[in-house]
Amino acid sequence: MKKAIVSVFARDARGITAYVTALLADRDINILDISQTLMQEYFAMIMLVDLEACPLPFHELSNWLKEQGEKRALDIHIQREDIFEAMHRI
Amino acid sequence: MSYLMNSSEILQTIRMIDQQHLDVRTVTMGISLLDCAADTTARCAEKVYDKICRMAERLVPECKMIEQEYGIPIVNKRVSVTPVSLVTASCAEEDFSPIALAMDRAADAVGINFIGGFSALAQKGFTESDRKLVLSIPEALAATKLVCSSVNVGSTRAGINMDAVLLCGKIIRETAEKSDMGCAKLVIFCNAVEDNPFMAGAFHGVGEPECVINVGVSGPGVVAEALKSCRGERIDVVAETIKRTAFKITRMGQLVAQEASRRLGVPFGVVDLSLAPTPAIGDSVAEILELIGLERCGTHGTTAALALLNDAVKKGGVMASSHVGGLSGAFIPVSEDAGMIRAAGEGVLTLDKLEAMTCVCSVGLDMIAVPGDTTAETLSAIIADEAAIGMINNKTTAVRLIPAIGKKVGDRVDFGGLLGSAPVMPVHGESAAEFVSRGGRIPAPLHSLRN
């Protein structure tokens, strides 16, 4: 399994989750865990995903998600999970 | 082991990067040039160019991949090389600047933003090669963009080479007269370290392997943010908060260091636990000191607050990395820190206070603009004071002063980018020329005899 964290930030609107999960499905990315919150009118969603079946190299996927996000004024990042593990676990 | 998703931790990391300027300040590849010795500078320069290009070819692209995959900026990709005076020992010519030109071209070819090691280690005396190299520094720094230079003039073990101190004062002046930016790339050290990844003082020591990856972490903004939750708490809580934050910052640096080492097939050397500020608002060491409770950095209490900060950063960082080294401590470069610039501009932060601060933190009098008419002897005396602090306290100290030619106290000097801008600060007018012109060596202190 090749795990990564996808984070999405935007002003809240209808259909953000649907839009982003469709993007991920389109690239054969499986969602393992998902959490979303509203901070005032701000939307924040975090997903743990598996990239095993994703055909794109990491940097292309990262650029593609960023571009697709910008179309809907979403700030989409993807990062390898190791960085969170390193910072927050001993 | 897999990471169990915790949204608040993930958001914290993302906020640190997006809003608090958390980054890896530098990935620095150390390269030995000992096999580049030759009879002429032309031949030596050719070998130096080829070796740097060969070894560092993949450094920048691999670092860019790491940045993208982890979402963490690596601000600088750099190379440090063997002190050049060791490589040029067989060259007959007087002028060693052709080697600096080759380093500059190689740095440009591999896409790095600085290359360090146009250096000489002269703590006990000059070899012919050391002398020729030091005399070549003004021309070398004027003729290149990316080359950084350093001279080690003292150590706890050897004492202080006052001939080198005197010469370096002259070299700083000459460098300032030849180019605006030259002095920002020239550091005079006492107790220089062999594995420092930070510029302008990085070089690849002779005890180092053929090639090595050293990483410098940063994050004053993250520490400052964490301290905002400590208002009114006892000082113990402040120290503990800094430690915890430094641990997280360093773990990230360690991860990047290991990943860079693995991808490049080059051994990992050290993580340098430093708080390196930038001129950006919210990325300032002075701001941390002010959050600890000072109205303005430079006032009474600054040295104590900085001592606490420096120690807590090391304590937090040391457990987060398998190998810690380099300079490891808070940097206080005046022109590169918005809070220091402000405090110096208001006259609260003075050269004398900065000197006191260097007793308890990493390195020394860093990126300080002094009046253009400051004499070479005064510069030498400032170097001697700093070197004495390093020698007696068993620590690295350094001087990176910029005589602002044609400018006086209160004027401003702009260096651009990460080097920032600085108000010209006053120096004492009384002469120390007789002292620094004596020459010779200040004997090593009693506690150098440790065996």
Residue-wise pLDDT tens digits, B398-411:
999 999 999 999 89
For all residues of chain B together, what is the average pLDDT?
Answer: 95
Q: Does residue B337 sit within a domain? A: yes
pLDDT reading at B387 higher than 70: yes
- Which of chain B's residues have a Cβ under 8 Å away from the Cβ of A69? none
- Examine residue B200 and say whether the peptide bond preceding it is cis (omega within 30 degrees of 0): yes
pTM surpassing 0.95?
no
According to the model, what pLDDT value does residue B28 have? Answer: 97
Model confidence band, residue B1 (pLDDT cutoffs 50, 70, 90): very low
- A66 at interface of B, judged by CB pairs closer than 8 A: no
- Which of chain A's residues have a Cβ under 8 Å away from the Cβ of B248? 87-88
pLDDT reading at B38 higher than 60: yes
CB count within 10 Å of CB B153 equals 33
Q: Which residue has the higher pLDDT, B168 or B416?
A: B168
Phi, psi of B382 (to 5 degrees): -65, -40
CA distance A26 to chain B (A): 20
Q: Torsion-angle region of residue B171: left (phi > 0), alpha (psi -120 to 50) or beta?
A: alpha
Condensed to tens digits (0 to 9), the pLDDT of residues B405-431 reads: 999 998 999 988 878 899 999 999 999
Give the DSSP per-residue string, B124-169. S---HHHHHHHHHHHHHHHH-SSEEEEEEEEETTTEEEHHHHHHHH
CB count within 10 Å of CB B8 equals 11
- Distance (Å, rounded) from C-alpha B322 to C-alpha B44? 36
- A82 at interface of B, judged by CB pairs closer than 8 A: yes
Q: Does residue B107 sit within a domain? A: no
Tokens linked to B381: 């005396």
CB B187 within 8 A of CB B200: yes
Q: What's the CATH number where B438 sits?
A: 3.20.70.20
According to the model, what pLDDT value does residue B233 have? Answer: 96
Structural domain that includes position B329: 214-448
Longest dimension (CA), chain B: 67
A vs B: CB pairs below 8 A:
73
Domains of chain A, CATH where assigned:
11-76 (3.30.70.260)
Q: Does residue B43 sit within a domain? A: no
B49: CB partners within 8 A, 6+ apart: B102, B103, B105, B106
Lowest mean pLDDT among B275-284, B290-299, B380-389: B275-284
According to the model, what pLDDT value does residue B2 have? Answer: 60
Residue A61: C-alpha distances to residues B18, B68, B237 (Å): 20, 10, 43
According to the model, what pLDDT value does residue B214 have? Answer: 97
Interface subset of A 2-31, CB within 8 angstroms of B: 3, 5, 7
Asked if A44's CB is within 8 angstroms of B11's CB, the reply is yes
Q: Number of structural domains, chain B?
A: 1
Asked if B69's CB is within 8 angstroms of A80's CB, the reply is yes
B341 burial (CB, 10 Å; 0-12 / 13-18 / 19+) is buried
Q: Which of B3, B24, B247, B251 to mutate to test the interface with A (most CBs of A within 10 A)?
A: B3
Asked if A7's CB is within 8 angstroms of B69's CB, the reply is no
Asked if A80's CB is within 8 angstroms of B68's CB, the reply is no
Q: ipTM score here?
A: 0.87
According to the model, what pLDDT value does residue B5 have? Answer: 76
Asked if B3's CB is within 8 angstroms of A81's CB, the reply is yes
pLDDT reading at B48 higher than 50: yes
Asked if A77's CB is within 8 angstroms of B255's CB, the reply is no
Asked if A35's CB is within 8 angstroms of B71's CB, the reply is no
